[in-house]
Amino acid sequence: MSSNIHISTSSSHRRIGSDAFAFGLVAAFIAVLSLGLWWLWKTDVEWAHVEDRMTAWTQAAETSGELGPILASIYALGVQPLPPGEKGNPDAVVAIRKTYEGKYGIVAERVRSLAIAADRTTVLKEVDNIQTAALAMLERVATLRGPDRPSDTEPGDPERLNEALAGLQSRYQEAAKALQRLQQHERNFATELSEERIELAEKYHNLAYGVCGVLFLIFIAGVGSLLRRHREVRKNFADLDVLQKAQRAAEHEFHSLFDNAIEGIFQTTPDGRILTANRALARMYGYDTPEHLIEKVTDVAAQLYVDSTQRQALLDALRVEDTVSNFEFEVVRADGRLIWVRENVRAIRDEKGGLRYLEGTVEDVSDVWWGEQRRRLQYALARVLGDSATVEEARPRIISTICKALGWDAGIFFEATSGALHAIEMWHATDIEMEELRMALPHLVYHRGHRLAGEAWAEGEPKWIAELSEELHYANADLLLACGMSSVFAVPISVDGEVRYVLELFSSKIALPDSELLQVLGSISSQLGHLVERKLAEEALRRSEMRKAAILRSALDCIITFDLEGKITEFNPAAERAFGYSAEEAMGRELAGLIIPETLRESHRRGLALYNATTVGSMAGRRMELVAMRADGSEFPIEMSISRFVIDGKPMFTAYMRDITERQQAERITSELAAVVANSNDAIVACTLDGKIVSWNVGAERIYGYAAEEVIGKQLDILIPPDRLDEFPQALTMVKRGESVANYETMRVRKDGKRLSMSLTDSPIRSEGGRVTGLSSIARDITERKRLEEELLQSQKMDAVGRLAGGIAHDFNNILTAILGYSDLLIGQIDERQWMYKHLSEIRKAADFAASLTHQLLAFSRRQPLFLRVFNINDTVKNMQKMLQRVIGEHIQIHTHLKAEIGRLKADPSQLEQVLLNLCVNARDAMPNGGSISIETADVTYFLDDFYSVNEMPAGEYVKLTICDTGTGMTADVKKHIFEPFFTTKEKGQGTGLGLATCYGIVKQSLGYITVDSQVGVGTTFSIYLPRVDESGEKSSIRKEVGQLPGGHETVLYVEDEITVRSLTAHVLRRLGYTVLEAGSGKQARDAIENHNGREVHLLFSDVVLPDAGGKELAEWFKQTRSGQTKLLFTSGYVDENILKRHGLELGTAFLQKPFTPADLAKKVREVLDSAES
């Protein structure tokens, strides 16, 4: 160490001497450099002065050299003779004079600007001589070139001319000499200036060399000094390197000890700032580096200490003592974990004895602290459970013990029962008010996985909330925060491998779970679980003994315990009642000889012997049905199960026996009843009192379409339509009262959505005690029956209307025949312009309307006689298309799509035309703003499995006629009634309600089917299916307009009992030219024939029904008594085919239906007379 100091002192002295010499060299260098620069500057000024003079002389010489040519020009102008005839040219003289004066002015100015006066005087003298001579020359030239120039012809002029030229030449020579002298002066001055420049240059160079030399000498001296200093510095650096290496070695050794220390080392100020810290301390407190720790922690009491008062206690102790050892306190790490540390601290004081800073070491003693806590807690919990008679008694002490040991403020004990966690106990520190939470305790119920306790229960692991203020969804978080709680831990307690209890612990400190805490909690949870398990086992054993005694006394089943030899050791009261032996009688006796029939005893003994030898038997653990024997020797069926157990290493058996005589009888009855239910065609469903389905038979599967597994456990509401949901609660209410609801009709819904009409009987299901436990519903599908009833009702309705229509048709048609006939006769006789014509036309229209109503009534009731023939429906549609367009109007378009190759059908064409007309008119009324009607025909074939063949229309081949419109459509409710007579949606006076009913009747009477499909806002489609036939037919005749009525001259016998109709008809026939014989009955007809004197009668025109005989009988008589080809034509107001057939009217017989018009009569009569057959 002393050598190092010596080296440092000598180096310092050498460094001071070298520095002084260096400073002297620098000063000398600056002084010489400054003086040299001043001399150089002064020389440079002189040089600039010489340069300025040189520049001025050069410019003056250049300008004066220009005067020579000007003077020569003046002289040449003066001596040059004038051209012949020219008197003179003064302008040239003026011009050259201006040129000279301008140049002279420049020369004079530059000469005057010369810096030295001697130079100016000498040069100006020569310049003035040039000026004098030049001016004289200009005067001579002005004389020679002016108008006064002497001429050669006049006397005296040549002399004056010569004299003038001589004077000019003399002046020119003077000027030239003066100019030569000026130029000589200029050359002399230039030589002098050049020499002066050379002298200044030499002086400048010599000065520069001198300064540089001196500076070089100084530089050499400086370099020598620097080299010497360099050697000194190198030596100093070598010495310094030795010192630094020694210092670094010492620092390295110190830092190695500081940074690699296992314990934390620190220095802190009294106000809590960290001055130094090693890596161990940074890691201990959860920081990456010591620098990070120093930067982040500015107040150890507030940021590290869990209890900041402990920091103040440490400072108080250090103010009294210099050191404090083994000071333990709890610290919050950077990650929020809590650890326990032990400090050894020394106080560093200032000169006045005040506390300057603290330094010391820190050791993490969490493992030791937690180990001690764990041992104390385990011991305390063992004592608590040992001192308590039951777990329930120990619960509050368990919570308080754990909370006090771990420093927690409160806790709640949860028990897992009935599928949920229930809060059953609570403890809290006396200095904390938690009354509101205690009042809420009975309502704290958590399900598995729900909230913190539920999660601990579900996962079997501790759960925690470090900061309750950030988890406000936690149950009762507001109450806990109000009580000052900040952290919550949930600890599961497992018993027999299953979480039975959960402890929730609360702390007012924000505490994250660290490994030590979790380890302690896990250890406590495991130990507590084992302790509770043992305690519960003790309780269970005690209760088991008590329960066993109670069971043996009160059990309804026989319980008999016996050993491996079959000796009875227990015989309960139920066995006494069942077998007729007292317990005293049975104890010690062999089981086989006491209660087992003789035929089974050997088997029983062999089974026990086999088990004794091999420990394998067929009876143990199985439920068996066998026969037992009473004390009186009677046998009865029993169900027996044997269980095995070991006492003191010896196997024992307990047999559980039950008399199953009544059960076998009940099972037989139940089996028979189950077979009836299973095979029933009715749906038999059982459900609970809240409507949940519990049984579902095969009939229910067939009717409702649901398999049993689809509906078991679901609500019966799935079968009930939404509009009838109120029915089931009403029925359920009656069943709960013990009442039955029998055979009430309602609607149900199948799985596929189809609605069914059902007849239901709901009855209560009772338990053995008579309490209503459920509902039995027996449902029968009456959909088909309801459909048949509706069809029967519809048929009866139609038949009633038909009978009404048929009953009045005869008389009504006779009346209409008279009205129509007379109206036509009158209209034919009156001019259209007469006022009566309009009234008669209205009467005619009213009669037509009445006749139309009659026909429609007869048509929908299917009492209208049909005149069938085979025809092509396409011809009918084509023939009617123009007429339909006129009826419907131009605002609606008709489109036809007729299949070219279409089958034939057999029907009444006129009736089918009526159907087509009615449907098109209905379509028109549904499209008030216009639209389109589409008429299509097609061949269709339906098979047995098709929808229509299954539901209504039988399988077969049909001709399909479709009428589709784009109208307003109709609702489902309207669609249900559209074919009913007198049903209409039109306003009053705009429809009779018979149009669609007529269509339905005609189609049905033609053995066809009609369907409708409609959607509101889209349109309606009617489809008519008529049976297809293989017969060939005739084309439909085209309608022709009626012209003049056909007549004739034949004789007609007309028989009609209605006088009005007879008079009208006879009158019309006579007007048509026929000879008419009238009769009101059969007798009158015969009389008329006899009175006709044997003349020929060409046509017998008779009513079918006559007062005394039928028209057919009259025709038969007529044929027998009269010869010739008399034609037959019948008429009638009756429309019932049965009535007509009963009176002999056969198919193919000529017939004219009443009411008829004169035109109908004329055409029909003419048609029959012209026919080939009679």
Give alpha helix (H) positions in 407-476: 435-439, 451-459
What letter represents residue 1056's amino acid? E
Tokens for 78?
């003066």
Residue 517 half-sphere exposure, CB side, CA atoms within 13 Å? 23
Tokens for 320?
């009294």
Q: Which fold has domain 2-234?
A: Four Helix Bundle (Hemerythrin (Met), subunit A) (1.20.120)
Residue 883 burial (CB count, 10 A): 13
- Please give the Cα distance from 936 to 961 (Å, whole number): 6
- Please give the Cα distance from 285 to 300 (Å, whole number): 11
- The answer as to CATH 3.30.450.40 being correct for domain 369-542 is yes
Token look-up 């409507």 returns 691
Give alpha helix (H) positions in 260-320: 279-284, 290-296, 300-303, 309-320
Residue 818 burial (CB count, 10 A): 21
Q: What is the DSSP letter of 83?
A: P
Cα radius of gyration rounded to whole Å, the chain: 73
Q: Which of 221, 501, 217, 559 is nearest to 381 (CA)?
A: 501
**Which pLDDT score is estimated for 6?**
46
Contact 637, 664 (CB under 8 A): yes
Length of the chain: 1174
**CB under 8 Å to 1010, separation ≥6 — which residues?**
979, 999, 1000, 1003, 1004, 1022, 1023, 1024, 1025
- Please give the Cα distance from 50 to 60 (Å, whole number): 15
For the chain, the structural domain boundaries read 2-234, 262-364, 369-542, 555-663, 684-760+767-781, 866-1029, 1051-1170
Q: At CA 363, angle to CA 360 and CA 367, rounded to 5?
A: 165
In Å, what is the CA distance from 461 to each residue of 296, 503, 531, 1115?
Answer: 34, 12, 18, 114
**Which pLDDT score is estimated for 706?**
92
**In 891-921, which positions are buried (b, 16+ CB within 10 angstroms) versus exposed (e)?**
ebebeeebeeebbebbbbbebbbbbbbbbbe
Q: Which of 991, 985, 979 is nearest to 860 (CA)?
A: 979
In Å, what is the CA distance from 458 to each residue of 453, 515, 822?
Answer: 9, 22, 103
Q: What is the DSSP letter of 580?
A: S
Which SS3 state, helix, strand or coil, does residue 391 take? helix
> In the CATH scheme, what is the code of domain 866-1029?
3.30.565.10
Q: Which fold has domain 684-760+767-781?
A: Beta-Lactamase (3.30.450)
May I ask the CATH class of domain 555-663? alpha beta
The pTM of the full predicted model, rounded to 2 decimals, is: 0.34
Contact 127, 108 (CB under 8 A): yes
What letter represents residue 479's amino acid? L
Which SS3 state, helix, strand or coil, does residue 805 take? helix
Tokens for 1172?
């080939």
- CA pseudo-torsion sign 880, 884, 886, 887: positive
> In the CATH scheme, what is the code of domain 262-364?
3.30.450.20
- Please give the Cα distance from 1012 to 999 (Å, whole number): 12
- Please give the Cα distance from 121 to 1013 (Å, whole number): 143
**10-residue mean pLDDT series, the chain (1174 residues):** 46 57 70 72 69 67 70 72 64 75 74 58 75 78 69 65 76 77 73 72 71 75 72 72 70 66 86 88 87 88 85 86 86 81 88 85 79 69 69 78 80 86 86 82 84 85 81 74 83 82 82 64 68 70 73 80 87 89 90 86 78 60 81 88 80 85 78 71 88 89 90 90 87 87 88 89 86 89 82 69 65 78 81 80 78 63 65 88 82 89 85 85 87 92 56 78 91 80 66 74 85 89 91 48 73 88 87 90 84 82 80 77 76 66 68 83 89 62
**Which pLDDT score is estimated for 147?**
66
**CB under 8 Å to 1114, separation ≥6 — which residues?**
1055, 1082, 1085, 1086, 1100, 1102, 1106
**CB under 8 Å to 122, separation ≥6 — which residues?**
185
397: left (phi over 0), alpha (psi -120 to 50) or beta: alpha
**CB under 8 Å to 390, separation ≥6 — which residues?**
535, 539
- The answer as to CATH 3.20.20.70 being correct for domain 1051-1170 is no
Strand locations in 482-634 (E): 487-495, 498-507, 558-563, 568-571, 623-629
**CB under 8 Å to 294, separation ≥6 — which residues?**
274, 275, 276, 277
Tokens for 449?
């996985």
Tokens for 292?
């990070």
- Please give the Cα distance from 447 to 638 (Å, whole number): 44
657, β-bridge pairs: 558, 640
- Please give the Cα distance from 766 to 771 (Å, whole number): 5
Strands 772-781 and 755-766 turn out to be antiparallel
- Please give the Cα distance from 730 to 289 (Å, whole number): 79
- CA pseudo-torsion sign 397, 403, 404, 410: negative
**Which pLDDT score is estimated for 1152?**
85
- Please give the Cα distance from 291 to 278 (Å, whole number): 9
- Please give the Cα distance from 655 to 51 (Å, whole number): 150
Strands 568-571 and 410-417 turn out to be unpaired
Instruction: Enumerate helices (H) and strands (E) in the chain, giving the number of each.
Output: 35, 33
Please indicate whether the domains covering 369-542 and 684-760+767-781 agree at the CATH topology level: yes
CB-based burial label for 792 (10 Å; 0-12, 13-18, 19+)? exposed
Residue 59 half-sphere exposure, CB side, CA atoms within 13 Å? 14
Strands 1009-1015 and 956-965 turn out to be unpaired
- Please give the Cα distance from 338 to 511 (Å, whole number): 7
Token look-up 């369907």 returns 1011
Residue 848 burial (CB count, 10 A): 16
Q: Which of 728, 734, 650 is nearest to 691 (CA)?
A: 728
